[in-house]
Amino acid sequence: ERLPAKEDLRPPFQFYVITCFIDVTTNPESCCRKGTKASEIMLACLKDRDNCLYDNLNIDSHLAIPERGATCSPAPAPHSTTGTDKVYKMDSNPRGLCVIINNENFVDPEKKRNGSQNDVDSLKAIFEFLGFLVEVETDKTADQIKALMAKYSKDARHGDCFVCCVMSHGNKTGVEGCDEQICPLNDITSPFDGDNCPALIGKPKVFFIQACRGCGMQSKVLVADGAGASRIQKSGKVYSIAKDSDFLIALSTVEGYVSVRDKYSGSWFIQSLCKHLKEGSKRGQDILRILTNVNNDVSREEGFIEDENNDIVDAKMTPQPQFTLRKLLIFKAPKVRTVFFLNSITEINYNSVQRLL
C-alpha cells in the first residue's frame, strides 16, 4: 500500500500479491501459516482500507484473529463432519472430461431440435466454470454415439470425475442418433464401468440425458401450500438404477413421457440444471440436492405443447435422477482470489492464475 505508484514496480508487485494473497473465505489456514502477526496486520489493514469489502466477505465468521501465542485452526469445510471418505475427491486440475453430444439435425428436417444450441452453450459455460475440459460433438448417428463413448472411455485425460451430456430425441430404451436409429442408454454408460474404464474406478461418472422417453403427456395436479393440502398422483411403476457403483444418470423426464424444449431458450431440464449447478457449487451443495432443486424447478414450469393428434395441451414435466453413488458428489466452484493492485481491487479465477504462473 505504501509503495510508490511507479510503472516499474507494478509487475513484481502484482506477481507478489497473486502468489501470496489468500482467499480468507475459502482457505483461512493459508493466512494462519503466515503467523499471528501477519494475520493481524493483513486483516486490520483490510478492515481499515475497505470496511465494506471486509463486511461483505464476512471475515469475522470465517476467521477470527487469534490471540498471541494461540494456535489458529482452519474453519471446518462443508460436510467435514462426515469425513473425507464420505465425499468424492474433486481436486484434479482439470477436474476431468465433460463430453457434450447434441443432435440438432435429423434425416427428417421437421425433427430439427431448435433451441438446442442454447443448451450446448449453457452446459459448456458451466462445466468450464467448474474446471472441466469440455468436448462438444454434434449430429452423431447411433453407431457414432456408441463409438464416441468407447473412445472417451479410453481417453488419457480423465481426472477425478467424468461428465457426459446427451441431447437428442429418444424413447424409453435410449436416445436417437441423427440417422433416427436408437442408441440404447446402456451403450452410453457401460463403456465407463469398472470393467471397461479402469481409470474411473471409484470415481463418479455423471450422465445428463435430455431426450423424450415416450409420447405421453404428464398431467397437471394442483398443489396447495400447507401440510396435508397436496393432491398427489401416484404411479405403481418402479424404476431401476444402474447396477455399477459411482454412476449418476439424470434423465430429463420419467419413462413414457415427453421432455419439453423451448425452441428459443432451450430445454427446461438443461437450463434449470445449469442454473442450479452454478448456484449450488458456490454453496458447496452436493449433486443430489442440486438435482432435487432442479426437479422442483422444472415441475413448476408451465407451457403448452402439441401432442400426437396435433392438439395443443398443457406441458408438464418431472426429471428423474437414478444413481449408485456411494459418497457425496460436490462440484467445487473455482477459487476466486481478492487481489489488491495498489489502488484497485480485482477478483481473479485461481485456476487461471495457476496456469499463468
Look up the CATH number of the domain holding residue 190: 3.40.50.1460
Domain encompassing residue 30: 7-76+337-356
Decide if pLDDT at 345 tops 80: no
Based on the domain organization, do 126 and 207 belong to the same domain?
Answer: yes
Mean pLDDT rounded to a whole number for the chain: 75
User: Among 49-58, 100-109, 205-214, 236-245, which is the least confidently predicted range?
Assistant: 236-245
pLDDT above 90: percentage of residues in the chain: 46
Place 162 in a pLDDT band, splitting at 50, 70 and 90.
very high
Sequence letter at residue 321: P
* From 158, 212, 274, 276, the catalytic residue: 212
Given a contact cutoff of 8 angstroms between Cβ atoms, the answer to whether 274 and 320 are in contact is no
Residue 232 lies in a domain: no
Annotated active-site residue 158? The verdict is no
Per-residue pLDDT at 215? 60
- Binned at pLDDT 50, 70 and 90, residue 65 comes out as very low
Of 167-171, 240-244, 298-302, the one with minimum mean pLDDT is 240-244
Residues 178, 135 contacting (CB under 8 angstroms) = no
* DSSP letter, residue 94: S
Residue 21 and residue 150 in one domain: no
pTM above 0.85, yes or no: no
Of 31, 169, 183, 276, catalytic:
169
Grid coordinates representing 237? 411403476
Catalytic status, residue 215: no
Dist. CA 66–CA 171, nearest whole Å: 61
pLDDT of residue 22: 42
- What is the distance between the alpha carbons of residues 86 and 174, in angstroms, rounded to a whole number? 32
What pLDDT sits at residue 299?
86
Domain identity same for 128 and 163: yes
- Asked if 98 and 157 count as a contact pair (C-beta separation under 8 A), the reply is no
Nearest to 164 by CA among 187, 198, 141, 196: 187
Q: Is the pLDDT of residue 131 over 90?
A: yes
Cα 194 to Cα 203: distance, rounded to the nearest angstrom: 10
State whether 157 and 199 are in the same domain.
yes
